[in-house]
Amino acid sequence: MRFFLILSLLVMTSCTYNELSVCETDNPSFNDCVEPIFEKNCIGCHFQNNSNGIMPLSNFQEIQYNVINGTVIESIKREVGFMPKNGERLSAEEILIIENWKENDAPNN
């Protein structure tokens, strides 16, 4: 009985869900990994035709351009005034996904 309990506990703890697991690679995809980060954290302020003139990040071309030119990565990594403004800092995993996507030439995949 004790063996069954320990085995059950090991199986349950080893199969925990990690929403970024598909993205924890050296080659994250835009559709599965990068775009959801921007939709969750950026699109609320960075949408097209924003009356405040805020840089739009609402589609692949806008995201790719601003990641490749360094604007996004600098903004999410700075110590003071980081993005998202008035929000929680992106996790280390989310930042790594964006950086790895850039390192792989920011493909539309």
CB–CB of 90/76 below 8 Å?
yes
What does the pLDDT look like over 50-97, one tens digit per residue? 888 889 999 999 999 999 999 999 999 999 899 998 889 999 999 999
This prediction's pTM? 0.78
What does the pLDDT look like over 6-60, one tens digit per residue? 444 444 444 443 444 567 667 899 999 999 999 999 999 999 888 888 899 999 9
Residue with tokens 């699109």: 43
Delimit the domains of the chain by residue range: 21-103
Phi and psi (nearest 5°) for 75? -70, -35
Phi and psi (nearest 5°) for 100? -65, -35
